[in-house]
Structure 1
Amino acid sequence: MKKNTIYFLSLVMIFCLSFKDKNENLSFEYVSVQAPFKMSKIKIPNFSKCPKFVITEFGALADNKQKNAQAIDQAITKANQIGGGTVVIPAGEWKVSKIHFKSNVNLHLEKGAILSFSETPSDYLPAVHTTWEGMECYNYSPLIYAYQCKNIAITGQGEIKAEMETWKKWFTRPKPHMESLKRLYNLSAKNVPVIERQMVNDTANLRPHFIQFNRSENILLEGVSITNSPFWTIHPYLCKNVVIRNIKVYAHGHNNDGVDPEMTQNLLIENCIFDQGDDAIAIKSGRNQEGWRIKVPSKNIVIRNCTVKNGHQLVALGSELSGGIENVYMNNCHVVDGAKLNHLVFIKTNERMGGFVKNIHINNITSGKIDLGILGIETDVLYQWRNLVPTYERRLTPIQGIYLKNLKATKVKFISRILGQKELVVNNISLKNVVADSVFEKKHIHENVVNFKEIK
């Protein structure tokens, strides 16, 4: 019995020492964030002491996307196997197809490095478990994809860009594409298993995200420039503990939001520059039955010290918000003069979404001219879905606790336009020192709003 006990304890010690050795170089940082709500520290990985794996050591050749993809995959596997490592992309332009992360890996782009992603759809097969506008499905892989990963990062001073010729052709929405959207909507509404929602065919043409972190945690995206995107640019989906900082995004295609946090919690976005064809930051939480089924709100999100050069909105909430959105704090952001922008803050939903929006704080924002206004809240935004598919279940969205302080624009149509519903009015909106140099339509346009306060 004694020998067995000693043998067992020896095995435990060997296991513990092996585990320690495997992870001894990977450490963590805990980022403290000040906000008007309780928010725990954000845990992110630190790879500064981890081994480095340069892709040329694995056979990478600048113009050979197949060899480069294989080299990056082998380097990622090696870094994962030792419990933490940095995959280095050296200076130069490297053609590549999809990149799939594994846990404990940092993809690092040195100064002058460019990862140029293929525009060939077949390079993003087989289909993976992903999403399209708030609905889960199997579709083309995101160009950079992490699924159920922990402790991952994309860092450096290099650039990742998408070649766009094919994706541009897919921007249009012909009837076969719309029929595929209708099919996905119906599959989601009826809670058909996601594995049966196969959307890769000759007519769906559902463009992939550029970067999707899917069901992952402890994520850092820092320093890199991102150019072009087939669809949403950065999409943290069902993630926890995410820091996005010091990045530059330029993407002017269709649906080219900058960052789309969806059902994601404990997120910091700071010191970034956005030049977008759609919303700079769009916070989401699933569409209709999908959001109700998963029941994870987007929560504890802080955005600070960012600059927007173009976009539809500085920050949008919705329209996919069926899981709910709460505890959002944006502070000290700037929209450059001459930017093309509809609103600084836009909350959008409809009778199918349900969910909720509450406890939203927007402080210290400056902007030039805005095409519409500073604050917009609309509860009947359906876009192409209005006549495409029916309302299977009607659920309204409670919107309450929206606080704006120290926002200034030069020229606007309105300061606020809030279009609530008689059955569920918008409640508790506070504007303190929210001003424009000139208002050329009407200062406030309100329907079905209670407890609206404006303080000079």
Structure 2
Amino acid sequence: MTGLNRRVFLQSMMAAAVVPVISGLPAQALAMSRPPRAQYNGPWAKVPEILSSIRLPSIPARDFNLKALGARGEGEDASEYFAAAVEASRRAGGGRIVVPAGRYRTGPIHLVSNTELHLEEGAEIHFVPDPGRYLPAVKTRWEGLEMMGYSPLIYAHKADNVALTGKGLIDGGADCDTWWPWKGANGKCANSSNEGDTQHPARKALMDDAESGVPVAERLYADGSFLRPPLVQFYECNNVLIEGVTLENSPFWVIHPVLCESLTVRNVTTRSHGPNSDGCDPESCRNVLIEGCLFDNGDDCIAIKSGRNADGRRVNVPTENVVVRNCQMRDGHGGLVLGSEISGGVRNVFMEDCVMSSPNLDRGLRIKTNAMRGGEIHDIYVRNLTIGQVKDVIVINFFYEEGDKGSFDPNVYNIQVENLVCEQANRAFHIRGFERAPIRGLQIFNSRIDQAGSVGVIEAVSGLTVDNVSINGQAFKPG
């Protein structure tokens, strides 16, 4: 067992015993609200199979210390030293790039196979907020559409055995002066508007290109297009580990793995409140573990995706076999979200023992799609979920954005929620399928919502099963 794998194994064992705690939800109340850990039987028997199939990266036992290569860690631009360390690792066949305590400014960091970027405690990487530094364009996926765009800040393409680890801080450098205004008018930046340099023209042009089947290599949307890059993106990679680090101030989505297999995201904190600052968005990935993480974001905490519209159907790779456990969700548009870029489908998602709470958390569980996205979404299991404060508890919405305007009805079935406890919500449910394509097999067991402003809406659901569910202290019986 390599040093990396030994550390990961020990931390995994410790994480299994940790009860996450959120501000405003006392640990004692949390422990009392939760039933004993259920066994892995029935559909949950698949969880051990998924976990056993996930391979951690194998990193050679050699270090490339940034300070030994000449970096001082005193706030200087250390781009050349990061590049030298990556090249040294590539030439040697892999190793660990060690970032000692200190402050380092840099442009994009492109990792290669068999390489770990490791931040020691007290290390800070601050990305330079100069868009020109993130050229030339690379292959990326932006809102579910493949294109050639600005380089993600930390990026790997077609790499095996890559890792981002440590106790340090990674700051994407985005704020309301740089990157975030490209969204156009948004609630995160008080002075933002749709005038000037915004993403809107390029976003529409990219969608038109994708619908028209323009080859990806010809979809050039970097300089002058104002489509913001994610902070971390591993694209078409195998055996990926992201562990321990704190990620802040991302231009766009924070962690965005695409077309990856064997992905572990563990004990990570994402804290970014800009527009579209999703925490972790595995897209068209297979065999995924997300555990022990804290998400405090300006958009979805975890959003599971698989491509958008015609482009998602062209690539046609679902996200499947996902385990989410022992995570905390604070601010965000949703705690666990499936969609909206979901045309390739999502299946076999298991979430357990998580805690959510914030006056700025819009939804606990959410599936968002429409008749343009479509997608086959099935075998989604959630249990032992404790929610303090949220606006909507469970949302399944086929009318997201474009609504009922396309020819690709979503196919959503076999969704099971059990042992959910929510203290306070504005609304319990917002569940709307299509009458011609209803949500099938929605099951809610042994759950309660102590205070809800309203029950909400449940429409176009066939095979709805509700057992031992209470809202406002009364047994809930759907009409």
TM-score (structure 1 length as normaliser): 0.88
Q: 1:132 aligns with which of 142, 146, 151?
A: 142
What is the rounded CA distance, in whole Å, between the counterparts of 1:163 and 1:76 in structure 2? 22
Which residue in the other structure is 1:56 paired with? 67
**Structure 1: how far apart are the matches of 2:230 and 2:203?**
16
2:390 paired with 1:370 = yes
- For residues 25 and 405 of structure 1, what CA distance do their matches in structure 2 show? 38
Shift of 1:83: 2.2
Answer yes or no: is 1:361 the counterpart of 2:384.
no
Q: Are positions 1:446 and 2:458 aligned together?
A: yes
Q: Residue in 2 aligned with 1:197? A: 219
- The whole-number CA distance in structure 2 between the counterparts of 1:80 and 1:405 is 47
Residue type at the aligned position of 1:369: Q
1:178, 1:154 → 2: CA distance?
Answer: 32
Q: Please give the alpha-carbon distance, in whole angstroms, between the structure 2 residues aligned to 1:44 and 1:264.
A: 15
Q: What residue is the counterpart of 1:8 in the other structure?
A: none
Pick one of 271, 296, 317 that aligns with 1:275: 296
Aligned to 1:431: 444
Give me the identity figure in percent: 36
What's the CA shift string for 1:105-137, capped at 9, x where partnerless? 010101100000110000100011111100011
Aligned amino acid, residue 440 of structure 1: G
- In the alignment, the residues of structure 2 paired with residue 159 and residue 26 of structure 1 have an alpha-carbon distance, to the nearest angstrom, of 19
> Displacement, 1:46?
4.3
For the 8 Å contact 1:26–1:83, the answer to whether it is kept is no
CA distance in 1, matches of 2:360, 2:466: 27
| Cα displacement (A) at 1:450 | 0.6
The aligned counterpart of 2:111 is: 101
CA distance in 2, matches of 1:427, 1:283: 20
AA in 2 matched with 1:44: L
Contact 1:65/1:97, CA 8 A, preserved across alignment: no
Q: CA deviation at 1:61?
A: 3.8
Distance in 1 (CA, whole Å) between partners of 2:55 and 2:217 is 32
Equivalence for 2:180:
168
Q: CA deviation at 1:181?
A: 1.0
Structure 1 counterpart of 2:158, from 128, 133, 148: 148
Cα distance, 1:233–1:269 mapped onto 2, change above 3 Å: same
Three-state SS of the structure 1 residue aligned to 2:83 is: helix
Question: What residue in structure 2 maps to residue 317 of structure 1?
Answer: 338
C-alpha displacement at 1:172, in angstroms? 1.6
For residues 269 and 306 of structure 1, what CA distance do their matches in structure 2 show? 8
Which residue of structure 1 lines up, in the alignment, with residue 205 of structure 2?
Answer: 183
Picking from 368, 372, 382, the partner of 1:352 is 372
What is the distance in 2 between the residues matched to 1:247 and 1:413? 30
Structure 2 CA distance for aligned equivalents of residues 107 and 183 of structure 1 = 36
Whole-Å Cα distance in 1 between the matches of residues 148 and 314 of structure 2? 18
Please give the TM-score of this superposition, normalised by the length of structure 2: 0.84
Matched, 1:118 2:118: no
1:328 CA displacement? 0.2
Contact persistence 2:58–2:114 (CA under 8 A): no
- Number of equivalenced pairs: 422
Counterpart-to-counterpart distance in 1, 2:61 and 2:390:
47
Q: For residues 421-452 of structure 1, what are the alpha-carbon distances to aligned partners after superposition, in whole Å with 9 as ceiling and x for unaligned?
A: 1110110000002211122212x511111110
3-state SS of 1:440 partner = strand
- The 5 A counterparts of 1:25-44 are 35-37=44-46, 38-39=49-50, 40-44=52-56
Structure 1 stretches of 5 or more lacking a match? Answer: 1-23
Counterpart of 1:396 in 2: which secondary structure?
Answer: coil
Matched AA of 2:184? T
- Describe how 1:209-358 pairs up with structure 2 within 5 A: 209-336=230-357, 338-358=358-378
Let me know the Cα RMSD of the aligned residues.
2.3
- Partners of 1:259 and 1:289 lie apart in 2 by 23
Q: Matched residue of 2:390: which SS?
A: coil
Structure 1: distance between partners of 2:53 and 2:396: 31
Partner residue of 2:428 out of 397, 401, 415 = 415
Q: Please tell me the residue identity of whatever aligns with 1:448.
A: A
Question: C-alpha displacement at 1:305, in angstroms?
Answer: 0.2
What's the CA shift string for 1:71-129, capped at 9, x where partnerless? 11211122222222110101011111100010000101011000001100001000111
Change in Cα spacing, 1:27 to 1:360, as seen in structure 2 (3 Å) is: closer
Instruction: For structure 2, list consecutive stretches of 5 or more residues without a partner in the other structure.
Output: 17-39, 186-193, 469-479
Contact 2:74 2:102 in 1 (8 A): no
- Rounded to whole Å, the distance in 2 between the matches of 1:130 and 1:244 is 20
CA contact (8 A) 1:128 1:138 kept: yes
The equivalent of 2:191 in structure 1 is: none
The Cα shift of 1:63 comes to 5.4
Deviations 1:315-346, CA, capped at 9 Å, x for gaps: 1100110000000000000013x441121100
Query: 1:65, 1:293 → 2: CA distance?
Result: 44
